[in-house]
Amino acid sequence: MKTSYRIKAVLVFGAIVFGSLGVFAGSAQANHSWVDYHWARSSDPFTVKLGNDVSSAWSAYLTQASSDWSASSVLHTTIVTGLVSPRTCKGTTGQDEVCSATYGNTGWLGLASIWLDSLHHITKGTVKLNDTYFNTATYNTPGWRHLVACQEVGHTFGLDHQDTTFNNVNLGTCMDYTNAPAGGTVGSFNYGASNEHPNQGDYDQLLCIYDPASNGKTLSTATHSCTGTGHLDSYTTIQALITKAAGLATAARAQEKIGSENTDFGRAIGYDAKGRADVFEKDLGNGEKTITHVFWLPD
């Protein structure tokens, strides 16, 4: 992305319809992980459960997002029965919950959140898809649904955006903002490739985050480059495999809802190109935090 916020905390990311930050399309993209945040695990590949808390209108898009991200050689996903109310979309320790509901005229299309323990390991994630907007003709399209579902799920693995400019040529990844998710010409501008799925840069970034064999090595494509920091952990934060470790004492109790009101987000720590607060931090105590990244709709 053209400008990225590097934040030490739980991350909530959002999808929106415009932006002017980022690096120019066609240039090599620096790594798009969020600092060193990752799921703790003792072996690769590992599987992240995606709790299905979405309406039938989203089922095919959640299935596609799960399939797309499972193409990674280090991280797989599986869709399971959701355990939360879509309206509040509280996190479930050890997995993701993916929710859809008419959250109202909040100004955002989607939010993605990850909670971190005091050792900077992800302990749970949530995705919220706002049907207040996706029920409208503008956003009720396969392109927008694929883009936002894929991107928000990708954020819960610790991925940042590759680019946050909406009116430039697509990078061919759902981790790139665009005015034309399906690609092609809109108005008089040719956006090029579709941004509905991950690209090789995203899979390389997951290797850089999670694969011990990539540690210290640089993985590069024409549009992306990252240097590996992957390692295995002495404990895991993945559901059904969770082991007790320092920093997890309060992870199970931190069930804050994220995204219904701005007051849920905590204090502003980052701003978008229009000067609007879009990154928020919430201290949960004991070294744990939530960070909310909101991507607002156009004015």
Query: Which has more pLDDT, 128 or 268?
Result: 128
- Backbone φ and ψ for 146, nearest 5 degrees, come out as -60, -50
Domain ranges of the chain: 11-293
Global pTM?
0.85
Distance of alpha carbon 228 from the chain centroid: 19
CATH 3.40.390.10 for domain 11-293, yes or no, is yes
- Across the range 26-41, mean pLDDT stands at 70
- In total, the chain counts a number of residues equal to 299
Rounded to 5 degrees, what are φ and ψ at 73?
Answer: -85, -10
On whether the CB atoms of residues 173 and 201 are closer than 8 A, the answer is yes
58-117 pLDDT tens trace: 999 999 999 999 999 999 999 999 999 999 999 999 999 999 999 999 999 999 888 988
pLDDT, one tens digit per residue, over 243-273 is 544 343 333 333 444 444 455 778 887 666 5
Could you report the per-residue pLDDT of 284-296, keeping only the tens digit for each? 999 998 877 777 7
**How many whole angstroms separate alpha carbon 223 and alpha carbon 199?**
10
261: burial class by Cβ within 10 Å (0-12, 13-18, 19+)?
exposed
